[in-house]
């Protein structure tokens, strides 16, 4: 019996904005990595998000562990962009409130 050992694709898709999502879902790489780094098992992560399969969670975690430095840099950039977006939103909200007064 022969086992097919050909490499499988990582179940991640990159959006036009550069965000990495688990293929076929709206779950970002950062969600899985964050939960994993907080101690959640692959099973717990898969149960927390109904759109994720256990196999995909394991594949994403394995990819993260193999490319930790590169993905940590990506996650840091994503966090900075999210913080900048939040700050911009808060500023716009404050300016809008001032214009109403």
pLDDT tens track for 36-66: 999 999 999 999 999 999 999 999 999 999 9
pTM for this predicted structure: 0.83
Domains and CATH numbers, the chain: 12-100 (1.10.10.10)
Residue 45: the pLDDT is: 99
| Choice among 32-36, 47-51, 91-95 with the minimum mean pLDDT | 91-95
- Mean pLDDT over 16-20 rounds to 94
Check: CB of residue 9 under 8 Å from CB of residue 56: no
Q: C-alpha angle with apex 17: 15 to 19, nearest 5 degrees?
A: 55
Mean pLDDT score of the chain: 92
Q: How does DSSP assign 81-98, residue by residue?
A: HHHHHHHHHHHHHHHHHH
Residue 101: the pLDDT is: 58
């Amino acid at each position: 019996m022969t086992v097919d050992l050909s490499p499988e694709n990582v179940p991640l898709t990159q959006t036009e904005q550069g965000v990495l999502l688990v293929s076929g879902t709206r779950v970002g790489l950062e969600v899985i990595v964050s939960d994993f780094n907080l101690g959640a098992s692959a099973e717990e992560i898969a149960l927390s998000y109904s759109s994720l399969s256990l196999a995909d969670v394991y594949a994403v975690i394995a990819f993260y562990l193999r490319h930790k430095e590169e993905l940590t840099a990506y996650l840091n950039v994503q966090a900075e962009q999210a913080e900048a977006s939040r700050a911009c939103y808060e500023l716009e909200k404050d300016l809008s409130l001032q214009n109403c007064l």
